[in-house]
A and B are shown apart, each in its own frame.
Chain A
Amino acid sequence: MKGIMTPRHVALWIAFAAIMLLLPQVVSNGTLRIIIFANFLAIFAMSWDFLSGKTGYVSFGHPFLIGIGAYTTAILSYRFHMPIEYSIPIAVLTTIAGGTFFFLPALRIKGTYFALVTLAFMELIYQLTQVIRPDLTGGTRGISGVKTLLVGAVPNYYFSFLLMLGIALVLWVLARTRLGTALDAIAMNEEAVSGSGLSTTKLKLFAFMVSAAVAGIGGAFYVHYLGSIAPRALFDIDFVFTIIVSALIGGASTIVGPMLGAFFMTFLLEYLRPLLPGSERYLIYGLVALVLYVYQPKGIYAIIADLRDGMRSKNANNSKNSGKVGDGKAA
């Protein structure tokens, strides 16, 4: 069995990090601001991917987890003036607890039913933030003026990129361990996995906890970047849409794919702004996503991999297929 990380991987990750870290020297602050959003979206999409892309338990309610993280730290720091070095860890722990809420139905149901129950969770918390203790949550108007960690495009860019890179590396390595491979197997055939003596319950719980932790970290730092939080910005079908589509357009179950998808989706929308400033751009944005998805449900990752394989087989024909890319998993 090959190592988890070959020297070539190390070199490529370093090259990627180096390019991204040099970026502020070259590009405008406006572009950096866009990349910051892309970085956060990438974190959310990777969190979704680790749960749904890998295990096949499709979550339509991921903002539920992100929102728990974001609201916990926002309320603790804004209403109770707790320092954020405490409020953020508490928020992450709370989100992990929230992840078990997701996990309980997953013990019994899967597929479409699981997707719907998670969607119902999200709708439920959307309504609850308005009904229960609006003095804490700010009700529909939310909370504005939450403490921001850093000021300015460049520091926030470095911070969000390093956060995203760290999470990406951890998830990517995790996905390549035997544990990660076993999760893929759950998506393929859960019965076979349990038949082979592995505890699928423990495996699933692990995936849910990791995904929730990442969602919590992402959500908590996101709110301290934005400086404001509102239920309509989080618990919204549009937000679900963006996260899932980013992950799928990029390539589910690959960790790197969702990162790619998040950048693609963010820049697609932002590049349309000068051309089509009005509502047309959401139409184009949706259409591009739909066409790409229907054309290749395995995502850009698979498209690029196919192109590369095509080129390789022309050249030397050393096609040692890793088997991870085209493993027939659409979501």
Chain B
Amino acid sequence: MQSMKKLVAVAALALSAGLVSAGWSHAADTIKVGFIGSFASDAGRSTMRGAQIAIDELNAAGGVLGGKQIEMVKADTHEDVTEGIKAYEYLAETEGVDFIISGCIDDVSLGWLPRMTEYKIPTLDTWTSNIGIIDKLVEDYDTYKMYFMNVATDEALATLYVDFGKDILAKKMGWKKTIILQEDTAFGNAINGLVTQLLAPEAGIEVLDTIVYDTATVDFSPIFSRAVDSGADFIYLIASVNSQVVSSQYVKLQVPLAMTGVNVSALGQEYWDDTGGAGGGISTLSPVPSVGFVADPESQKFVDKYIAEYGNERPKYPHFNGFNAYWGIKQAFAAAEEAGGFGLDKWVPAMENQDLKLMKDGKLWLRYAFWKPGEVEERTQRTYPHNIRFDITPPYDDGAPSMVVIQWYENGDAKVVYPPKYATGEFEVPSWVKK
């Protein structure tokens, strides 16, 4: 009885909703680019701003595809998987975007991936390095071919990291044994698996033990005690979620054992302020271009623009994915110009053929190009369709290295310490660790 009035009210509400949204039709003389990512995280903002700067430049230069202006529409994921799916649907159905640029984290990207294959919208990921997505292209290229990722995958990161182990940790520091400290996440498992498989045979470093910890861990002191007691020469850390906690407790407790590895929180310039200046002595692997990375002249122009525009609001300096978004948008539209639009049949091959070589002092410095389907990377002997074309063998003349190692010094500087071609500083252990 009374229930029915409400049912009618719901229907009316839904109806009016539809009428409102049906009213937004987008003008034919603009091209819409969708941004998907968190509006409140440094990673999300880096991608959003990098893309915005590229779009502003393209618009100022007279537009694209015969003088059309580009409009960017944004959808917040709140770093939530379900909100990410809703955001993708919103961009696809309500806004009708032609291209999507993403600054999402792993599980959020995996969440909307089925939507991407349904809507068939060309999509470029700039932050997640999840090899699982590239594996989907390996298995079923036709379904996922509209997907591109211009950050090197976990696998490439971990493989090159082994060289750092061989050259610096084993040869220079003389370390032979390590203990792995790994967070209990899929990312942690993936990196750990790769590193343990390769570290002993290639770098001659023995993995004594692995400590897996829960990401909500409050107190790391027993874990560090275990690591110290294990007799290892250094701790290999793999931390992406709440990684500030483990690294700051390492510093506060002055753990008498060197620690290096992957520490996602130390990837941005804000790391120093966020730790209140107590983050020295931490080193981490980082995708390129990292903090402390000397930019090539072209990328430096982007950095200058970024700082002029957003230098007062965090992140004050773009994270690696800000660069990826900037160059990614440029390439996506270059491909669209060649293909006459974003139709997959022509755009995907055109995007696959994009090749931007950024030079510095006459040497190849950064390269934005993609692995083609079927193309085998020599060292890992596998394919990486639509992943950025990285190079994991010196002298890195086929592409940028998949990663660099950055070192935060106790005075607040951050410098690249590996590979030597990009190094501006030396790998160092914290002052409280006995050498």
Give the B-binding residues of A (Cβ under 8 A): 6, 8-9, 12-13, 15-16, 19-20, 23, 26-35, 37, 127, 130-131, 134, 138-142, 144-146, 148, 151-153, 172, 226-228, 230, 232-233, 236, 238-239, 254, 256-257, 259-260, 263-264, 267, 270-271, 273, 277-279, 281-282, 300-301, 304-305, 308, 322, 325
Contacts and interface: CB of A to CB of B under 8 A. Distances in A.
Given A27-B15, A145-B114, A304-B2, A233 B107 contact: yes
Nearest to A281: B76
Contact of A141 (B1, B4, B7, B110): B110
Given A27-B17, A145-B114, A232-B81, 7 more contacts: A12-B7, A28-B18, A28-B94, A139-B189, A141-B185, A267-B17, A304-B2
Contact of A277 (B8, B39, B111, B114): B39
Contact of B110 (A134, A228, A301): A228
A254 B184 CA distance: 42
Contacts of B372: none
A31 B18 contact: yes
B19 A27 contact: yes
Nearest to B79: A232
A134 B2 CA distance: 49
B14 interface: yes
Contacts of A153: 93
A19 B185 CA distance: 46
Given A228-B113, A271-B17, A37 B130 contact: no
A316 B11 CA distance: 28
Given A144-B114, A226-B85, A322 B187 contact: no
A326 B383 CA distance: 65
B106 interface: yes
B21 A144 contact: no
A230 B107 contact: yes
Nearest to B115: A227
Contacts of B13: 263-264, 267
Interface in B88-110: 89-90, 93-95, 106-107, 110
Contacts of B17: 27, 31, 34, 267, 271
Given A30-B89, A271-B17, A139 B5 contact: no
A141 B39 contact: no
B211 interface: no
Interface string B273-295: 00000000000000000000000
B410 interface: no
Given A141-B130, A279-B76, A31 B86 contact: no
Contacts of A152: 118
6 contacts: A8-B4, A12-B7, A16-B7, A134-B186, A144-B113, A226-B111
Contact of B3 (A236, A256, A264, A277): A256
A145 B93 contact: no
Contacts of B82: 37, 226, 233, 239
Contact of A278 (B11, B76, B81, B133): B76
B40 interface: yes
Given A23-B15, A142-B107, A142-B110, A31 B22 contact: yes
Most buried by A among B2, B107, B111, B214: B2
Closest 4 CB pairs of A and B: A27-B18, A227-B114, A30-B94, A12-B4
Contacts of B5: 304, 308
A20 B12 CA distance: 9
Given A144-B113, A145-B114, A282 B78 contact: yes
Contacts of A277: 39, 74-76
B307 to A, nearest CB: 22
A260 B81 contact: no
Nearest to B81: A233
A20 B185 contact: no
A19 B7 CA distance: 10
A27 B8 CA distance: 16
Contacts of B113: 144-145, 227-228
B74 to A, nearest CB: 6
A312 B178 CA distance: 78
Given A16-B4, A273-B75, A325-B2, A260 B110 contact: no
B6 interface: yes
A52 to B, nearest CB: 19
B21 to A, nearest CB: 5
B8 A19 contact: yes
B11 A139 contact: no
Nearest to B111: A228
